[in-house]
Amino acid sequence: MTEAEIRQLVLGIIADIVPDQDLSQIRDDEPLRDQLGLDSMDFLDIVMELRRRYRMQIPEEDYPRLATVAGTIEYLKPRLAQLAPG
């Protein structure tokens, strides 16, 4: 999966979780918490959504790495590659 594809995936999950927010102006390097007002409950939802869609387990100590879109892409890239068939 390319970074652009992973970015789409991440934004898709966020769009599901916070349907009120306009994501077109999102800046990848700034904390989602500041830009979208996400709180810890919303982060739990992101983690749960990754678990549901990709059967991916994310330990709690890794949550800080999901603070930005860029961080999330970087975190997911090797893990999604492992899941890819073949």
Q: Contact residues for other proteins (CB under 8 A)?
A: 16-20, 39, 41-42, 44-45, 47-49, 51-52, 57-60, 63
**How far apart, in whole angstroms, are the C-alpha atoms of residue 81 and residue 64?**
21
Report in angstroms how near the CB of residue 65 gets to other proteins at its nearest. Answer: 13
Nearer to other proteins among residue 19 and residue 78 (C-beta)? 19
Nearer to other proteins among residue 3 and residue 57 (C-beta)? 57
Nearer to other proteins among residue 50 and residue 73 (C-beta)? 50
**How far apart, in whole angstroms, are the C-alpha atoms of residue 26 and residue 29?**
9
**How far apart, in whole angstroms, are the C-alpha atoms of residue 26 and residue 80?**
23
**How far apart, in whole angstroms, are the C-alpha atoms of residue 60 and residue 5?**
25
